[in-house]
A = this chain, B = another copy of it.
Amino acid sequence: MSKYIHIQEAAYEANMQLPKLNLVIFTFGNVSAADRDLGVFAIKPSGVPYEDLTPAKMVIVDFEGKTVEGNLRPSSDTLTHAVLYKHWDKINGIVHTHSTYATAWAQAQRDIPIFGTTHADHTTNDIPCAPPMDDEMIKGDYEYQTGFQIMNHFKEKGLSYEETEMVLVGNHAPFTWGKTPAKAVYNSAVCEAVAQMAFLTEQIRNDSPRLKDALIQKHFERKHGPNSYYGQ
């Protein structure tokens, strides 16, 4: 048995959640699970349908993006995962999907405005949409640069990846992350739900205002602040 079996199992379980949560069809998504002590992550093999996955098929890759163990080719988005793991050292799970509503916002190249407490329960910021990359970066090491595009956008906007665990890549689709692969999957479903609600909110009233600061702070703090009182 592989010494990586624990992250292979975690990655497998998390990948299998994506179709159950209606976040992917066919092979339109991937999840990885990292072990920072071993300096590697397990990630879905490229183009393999979810129903054919097993824990052992998860490919082991290091934070430079080199395959360490496994016979299958890793997800085509592997280098984006590697870059984020290397530079954001508190995350242990990353998810990429093309979920319908979040992808539509990414295609419109718009941040998802914070309109309500469902959103504020998870972050105090609009869900950021990183702009599409320059053509040179796209033609070069595309997936590697996608990771930097995300990180640079967070720097520019003064966002913390520990607070805001999701991003839209302009014209592409959402990436989410978390302290565990399960939390990263949870964030993908939250991102999709918030994206749908924000779409509807603008349709119902096209000048809907952003949520006011007092409500943003209250809802975020009651779940994530030092005096939080949500959960067990």
Q: Which residues of A contact B (CB under 8 A)?
A: 21, 25-26, 28, 45-48, 72-73, 76, 98, 100-101, 103-110, 115-118, 132, 135, 138-139, 142, 171-173, 186, 189-190, 193, 196-205, 208-209, 211-215, 218, 222-223, 229-232
Contact = CB atoms under 8 A, between A and B. Distances in A.
Contact of A200 (B101, B135, B222): B101
Nearest to A71: B232
A231 B106 CA distance: 24
Nearest to A201: B107
Q: How many copies does the complex hold?
A: 4
Contacts of A198: 107
A18 to B, nearest CB: 14
B189 A199 contact: no
Contact of A104 (B73, B103, B204): B204
Contacts of A139: 214, 218
9 contacts: A26-B190, A28-B118, A108-B201, A109-B205, A109-B208, A132-B215, A139-B218, A142-B218, A171-B215
A232 B104 CA distance: 29
B214 A100 contact: no
A25 B104 contact: no
Contact of A231 (B46, B199, B223, B229): B46
Nearest to A21: B25
Contacts of A215: 132, 138, 171-172
Given A135-B214, A218-B138, A230-B46, A173 B104 contact: no
A117 B142 CA distance: 13
B197 A104 contact: yes
A197 B103 CA distance: 7
**Residue among A115, A197, A211, A222 with the highest chain B CB neighbour number at 10 A:** A197
Contacts of A208: 107-109
A29 to B, nearest CB: 11
